[in-house]
Amino acid sequence: MRFPISSKAPLAVLVIALISLFPASRADHHGPKLEPGFRSLFNGKDLTGWRGNPDLWSVQDGAITGQTGETPKNKLTHNTFLVYTGGSVDDFELRLKYRIVDGNSGIQYRSKILGEGDFGPIVGGYQADFEAGTKYSGILYEEKGRAILAQRGQTTKILENSENPKKPIVEVLGSLGDTDDIQSVIKSKDWNDYTIIANGNQLTHMINGRVTVSVIDEDPSGSAKSGVLALQIHVGPVMTVQFKDIRIREIK
C-alpha cells in the first residue's frame, strides 16, 4: 500500500458535521428503550435472527457471547461469524456495546458470506475491528479483502490500484487524534460503546463517543454499498467476546 500524506484537513470538519447529525447514545442505555428511529437486532434472550455455530455462540447474561477453547469443537482453525439473518445493511447507523477478554474480534458490515467452514460461516468485507490489545480497536479492516483501509486516528480515501486491485491506494487525508490518546478511552475487559455509520461511500467508526476512523471508499472494484452484518470470533488464543444493545437506524 502507499500512504501519501495530504494536508486536506477539511475532511475532519466534515466528520464532525456528520457525527453531529446523529445524537449520541445515552451512557445509561441498558434496557429495551431505543433512541428515536432505531430498531433492535437482538432480543436479549436467544439467538433468534442470527446464525452461527452453536458450539461457539450463545446468550449469557443478556449478551450474545462468542467463546473459543481448547477442545476439537471450539479450537478454531479459521475465523468464523455469527450472521444477522434479518436482511442486508446498506446506509445505516449501528450502535452496540461490546466486551472482550483476550484475542480480537470485529463487526462485519456490507459484507459477504464466502462459504461454510468447519466452525461456521466465513465472511469477508468491511470490519469495525476491536481487540483485547491496544493497537487495532476502531480501525477499518477488510476481512478476506483489501486489509487495513484506515489505521486508528486516520481519515483516508481509498483509490483503485489498477496494477493490483487487492492492494488499493490508501491516501491519508488528515488526523482524528493520536492513536494512544484514542486508546485511553477504551475500557479493558469491560463494556464499550461502538458506533458505525455507513452513508454512501463514507464510513465512520466511533468507540465511547470518540471518532476512531473516517474513510471515503472510492475504489470501484473493492467498495461495497450493501451486504450482511455479522459478529466475529477470531482464530488464535482462547477468547470471549460479548455484544448487547444492538440497534440500527437506516439512513434514507
Strands (E) in the chain, as ranges, are 39-40, 50-51, 57-60, 63-67, 80-84, 92-101, 104-117, 120-131, 140-143, 147-150, 154-159, 169-175, 192-199, 202-207, 210-217, 228-233, 240-250
Q: Quote the pLDDT of residue 16.
A: 45
Which letter does DSSP use for residue 10 in this model? H
pLDDT digits (tens, 9 = 90+) for 213-228: 999 999 999 999 999 9
Q: CB of 27 within 8 A of CB of 189?
A: no
Q: Which of 13-17, 46-50, 65-69 has the lowest mean pLDDT?
A: 13-17
List pLDDT tens digits, range 136-188.
Answer: 999 999 999 999 999 999 999 999 999 998 899 999 999 999 999 999 999 99
C-beta of residue 63 within 8 angstroms of C-beta of residue 42 = no
Q: Which pLDDT belongs to residue 31?
A: 52
Phi, psi of 181 (to 5 degrees): -65, -40
Return the C-alpha cell found at 27.
451512557
Measured in degrees and rounded to the nearest 5, phi and psi for residue 208 equal 50, 40
The residues, any chain, with a CB within 8 Å of residue 80's CB and separated by 6 or more, are: 52, 53, 56, 117, 119, 120, 121, 122, 232, 233
- pLDDT above 70 covers a percentage of the chain that reads 87
**Among 21-35, 127-141, 144-158, which is the least confidently predicted range?**
21-35
Strands 104-117, 92-101: pairing is unpaired
Residue 252: what pLDDT? Answer: 87
Report residue 97's pLDDT band, with 50, 70 and 90 as the boundaries: very high
Mean pLDDT of 47-72: 97
Q: What share of the chain is helix, strand, coil (3-state, %, to 5)?
A: 5, 45, 45
Pairing of strands 228-233, 104-117: antiparallel
Could you tell me the pTM of the whole model? Answer: 0.87
Domains of the chain plus CATH, in order, are 10-69+77-250 (2.60.120.560)
Given a contact cutoff of 8 angstroms between Cβ atoms, the answer to whether 106 and 63 are in contact is no
